[in-house]
Each structure stands twice: as structure tokens, then as C-alpha cells.
Amino acid sequence: MRLSRTTYPGARRPSAVGVVHLGLGAFHRAHQAVYTEEAMAATGDDRWGICGATQRSTTVADQLGPQDGLYTVSTGGPPQVVGAITEVLPPGDERLTAALAHPGTRVVTLTITEKGYAPGSPAVAALVAGLRARARADAGPITVLSCDNLPGNGAVLAGLVRAAAGDGLAEWIAGQVRFPSSVVDRMVPATTPEDLAEVARRLGLEDRGAVVAEPFRQWVIEDDFAGERPAWERAGALLVADAEPYERMKLRLLNGSHSMLAYLSRHEYVRDAVAELAEPVAGLMEEVTPTLGALPGFDLDAYKASLLERFANPRLRHRTAQIAADGSQKLPQRLLDPARELLAAGREPRWIARAVAGWMRYVTTASTLDDPLADRLRVPEPDKVVLTVDRLLAVSAVFGEDLPADQVFRDLVTESLAELIADSTG
């Protein structure tokens, strides 16, 4: 039997939709939806049901629709049923605009991945259409809360929305909409058939929307809301004036290491890659530390040690291939921005260069490349080191104009790529 509100009547039943979410993937289900569920449980304020929309594939709608939005999250103990999601909209569903224009909706959250932050992306277009309808309906203020791994994600999204909105709507947005930045953290690998079988066994019901995640979770949110919001702090979220220091730490230490592991290891899972690459990962973390800025009272050494433990979690089947995807969208904030800052300070970003060389080897040798810039990342003769570095550094959407012109950086990457190629052929 399938998990649903009929077969599992004990699930939380929100009284209304208060949040619209764009990008209803595994990450949202294991992160913001859980915070929202727990905020409702802690306060008894049940108005924060989530209307979740998927942007690209119908799979999630097929998984969650027949389950009335219910699914489980497993972090080691028994699967927990989450009832916060009350509506599931497939791509292109017109009800999304209506949901964004409904006065009960006070917050829009987004997990649309890095590549969603581009002019003309479907998620941005859907958001602007919804805001336009909301302005017309005079439905009141709303907060747009980005939850993607980008620096200043709120400001970036605000820029895209304003550019697409045009003058009249931009004026309404300026008065009614806030775009706080937030930093999200939880490792949530793609669910596998084995995971689904395990959940079905433990739950006694089939759950095609199940997600498996690490126990750790963090959400740092800039406290800049246009109106009401779920009491996420009651579920452990940190409301702060400025998320930037957290963002640097998370993107450069966690995500930077993740990308390094994904490109330098030939292991299938992060947990095995981290055992193989303990030295480069520790090296990378030390190298970027001077670029992190200050967080008074924060124990950076403990944070780094905890990351190594989280990567090594034996229960997590986090595929390096999943993290390797979309590298052109991830490298700049994870590796290249800290490289720029180190170079400007007269330091050599050796370990960053090694990770970048790993990416170069990866994009030039992978049999299929999952990346929006895939066409521009192919080189004719990947064993020619200097030519490969030259061609790839010239992709300015990734490296800008400054890094290709930096001889120190170019030499470090060239040297690393030569070593990597020699290692794999020798």
C-alpha cells in the first residue's frame, strides 16, 4: 500500500497554504519542509502548509501527488512522515501563479540550483508572473527566500526578478517584497532504489517520495521579512542580520571540499573519496581559511573536523557524480572567488588549482557531461595540457577575464593538470 493521508491519517494537516516552494527536489523535502513542519508543531500555528512546484521534471509530482504530499525523511532512525506539503504542482501548472497571488501566501522559498539563477530561467519567469498577479490582486507583502548555494543569493535573485519585472512591477516589488539571503546545509543524496526498499520495510507503506539525509542540518536566514513567516527558529534556524560570514564558510569549506572530492577521486561515493583524499581536503581547508572573514566565537577548527566526519558518514551514499554535475555553475563561488582573494594577497592557491585541474580533467574526459555549458567545455585533445588549460580558462562565464590573465594561477593549474594526467596514464 502507498503512503497517503488515507493510509497514514496521523500526519500533520496544515490548515492553509502559507509558503510556496519552487524546486521541490529531495533537498527541499529534507530541509525547509522539515523546518516548517517542526515550526508548526512547536507553535500550533498550522497556517504554513507548502505548495510545492517542480520546475523541470514531472517525476516528483508523480511521486508525491498520489501520496497527498506526504513522504518520509530518514536520517538513521525510523523514517519520519512529513505532512507540511499540501499541494504538489507539476511543471507549467497554472495554479502556481494563483498560489503566489493568494493573500495567505507570505513566503516563497526556492531551491532551483545554481543554474536557475540566470535571466530567462523558468523559475524566475514563474516567480515574476506570480508577483505580477499578486500586485494586480493587491494581495499584500511577500518574502522571496532563496535557499541555493550561491553567495548573496537573495540579492542575486532580487536583481534577476527586478530586471525581468519591468518598471511598473519593479516599483510594487520595491515596496512589498523582501529578498533576504539564506545559507542552507544538509547533505541529501539522490534517493536510490535500495533506500526506497528500506523505507517501505520500516514504514510498512510504499513511499516513492522518500528522502535519506544526514542527521545534521543548518539554516541561517537574514531576518528581513516583508510580513509573517513560519517560526523556523523554533526548529533550530538561526535568524541573523548578515548571513555572509556563514555563507563563505559553508560554500568554501563544505562545498569547495565537496567539489574537490568529486573531481579528484575515482570513488563512487564521497565517504570513500574522503578517506583517499584526506591530505588535499585538509590542504584546501587551510588554504581558504584566510579568506573566510570573522565570525566571533565560532570554532572554525571544530567546524572543519565536523565536515570531515560528515563527509565520511558510512550511512550516506552520496555519489561524487551528483556533486560533479554543473561544475561550471559551482566553481566560481566555491573555488575561484577564494583563489582570486588569495592571489590578490600574494598567496598561491595550490590546492584550489589542484581541484580546478581535477575539474578540467573531468570535463574533458567524462563520457557524458551534465552541465549547462557542456558544449563549451569540450576540448579536441584532452591529453595536451597547455592547450586544454588555455581553452578552458578562456571560458569567461566560469573564469572571468582576470583569472586567465593571472600567470601564477595559470601555472599552478597547468602543473596540477600535468600531474593528474601523468598519474592516470603512468
Write each residue from 265 to 304 as x if it is in contact with ligand CS2 (CB under 6 A), else as -, in one continuous string: ----------------------------------------
CB of 257 to ligand CS2, least distance (A): 9
Q: Which stretch binds ligand CS2 (CB under 6 A): 184-192, 238-246, 370-378, 412-420?
A: 184-192
Write each residue from 217 to 256 as x if it is in contact with ligand CS2 (CB under 6 A), else as -, in one continuous string: --------------------------------------x-
CB of 373 to ligand CS2, least distance (A): 16
Q: How far is CA 392 from CA 37, 119, 193, 421, in A?
A: 45, 23, 37, 16
> Which residue, 12 or 319, has its beta carbon nearer to ligand CS2?
319
Residue pair 354/416 in contact by the 8 Å Cβ criterion: yes
Binders of ligand CS2: how many residues, by CB under 6 A?
9
185 binds ligand CS2, rule: CB under 6 A: yes
CB of 330 to ligand CS2, least distance (A): 6
Q: How far is CA 232 from CA 37, 141, 179, 199, 292, in A?
A: 9, 19, 17, 27, 26
For 231, half-sphere exposure in the C-beta direction (CA atoms, 13 angstrom radius) is: 11
How far is residue 135's CA from residue 312's CA, in Å, rounded to a whole number?
48
CB of 72 to ligand CS2, least distance (A): 20
**Grid cell of 344 as nine digits:** 590578490
Ranked by CB distance to ligand CS2, the top (closest) residue is: 258
> Which residue, 129 or 325, has its beta carbon nearer to ligand CS2?
325
> Which residue, 7 or 255, has its beta carbon nearer to ligand CS2?
255
Q: Residues 312 to 341: which contact ligand CS2 by CB under 6 A?
A: 322-323, 330
For 105, half-sphere exposure in the C-beta direction (CA atoms, 13 angstrom radius) is: 29
CB of 408 to ligand CS2, least distance (A): 27
CB of 249 to ligand CS2, least distance (A): 12
Q: Residues 141 to 170: which contact ligand CS2 by CB under 6 A?
A: 149
Residue pair 64/85 in contact by the 8 Å Cβ criterion: yes
With CB under 6 A as the contact rule, the residue among 40, 53, 60, 187 that binds ligand CS2 is 187
How far is residue 340's CA from residue 93's CA, in Å, rounded to a whole number?
43
With CB under 6 A as the contact rule, the residue among 248, 258, 340, 361 that binds ligand CS2 is 258
> Which residue, 98 or 373, has its beta carbon nearer to ligand CS2?
373
Which residues of the chain form contacts with ligand CS2 (CB under 6 A)?
149, 185-187, 255, 258, 322-323, 330
